[in-house]
C-alpha cells in the first residue's frame, strides 16, 4: 500500500471522500489523516475531498487556456461583425439604397452604371 510521501504532489478539493481517495489511490486511511493533520487541514476530516495528480492539474490548466483563446476569438469575430454592419449602414446612407440580401439590387445596378 502507498503512503502519501511516495506519491507525486497532491491537491485536495471537495469531491471524493477520504475512504474513496484511499481506495482509488491505494493510500492508507491513516496516511491521509496524517497528511491532512500535518498540513493544517483538520477542517477537511470527515468531509468529501478530491485528490488530483499533477497531470490532471496540467490538463485543467491547458483546457482553461484554450477556453480563454476561444473566448478571445469569439469576441474578435463579434467585433468584426459589428464593424461590417456599421460599414453597410454607412454605405446605405451614402448611396440611399439597401445592400442587405437582394433588396436594392436594381438600385445598385443603377449606381454601378453611373
Pair 62, 109 in one domain: yes
Same domain, 32 and 70: no
SS (HEC) of the chain: CECHHHCCCCEEEEEEEHHHHHHHHCECHHHHHHHHHHCCCHHHCCCEEEEECHHHHHHHHHHHHHHHHHHHHHHHHHHHHHHHHHHHHHHHHHHCCCCCCCCCHHHHHHHHHC
Q: What per-residue confidence (pLDDT) applies to 97?
A: 79
Q: Are residues 10 and 38 in the same domain?
A: yes
Where in the sequence is the domain holding 33, given as residue range(s)?
4-52
Please tell me whether residues 43 and 70 are part of one structural domain. Answer: no
75 and 107 both lie in a single domain: yes
Q: Which three cell numbers stand for residue 109?
A: 445596378
pLDDT of 7: 43
Closest residue by Cα to residue 84 from 72, 95, 92: 92
Compute the distance between CA of residue 99 and CA of residue 107 in angstroms, rounded to an integer.
9
Q: Would you write out the chain's pLDDT as a tens digit for each of its 114 residues? A: 444 444 444 544 456 777 887 888 788 888 878 877 777 655 655 666 667 788 888 999 999 999 999 999 999 999 999 999 999 889 888 888 777 766 556 665 666 665
pLDDT score, position 3: 47
Same domain assignment for residues 23 and 65: no
Amino acid at each position: 500500500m502507498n503512503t502519501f510521501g511516495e506519491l507525486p504532489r497532491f491537491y485536495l478539493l471537495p469531491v471524493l471522500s477520504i475512504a474513496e481517495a484511499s481506495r482509488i489511490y491505494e493510500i492508507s486511511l491513516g496516511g491521509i489523516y496524517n497528511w491532512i493533520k500535518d498540513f493544517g487541514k483538520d477542517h477537511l476530516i470527515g468531509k468529501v475531498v478530491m485528490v488530483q495528480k499533477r497531470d490532471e492539474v496540467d490538463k485543467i490548466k491547458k483546457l482553461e487556456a484554450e477556453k480563454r483563446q476561444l473566448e478571445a476569438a469569439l469576441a474578435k469575430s463579434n467585433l468584426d461583425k459589428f464593424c461590417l454592419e456599421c460599414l453597410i449602414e454607412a454605405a446605405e446612407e451614402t448611396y440611399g439604397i439597401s445592400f442587405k440580401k437582394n433588396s436594392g439590387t436594381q438600385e445598385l445596378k443603377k449606381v454601378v452604371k453611373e
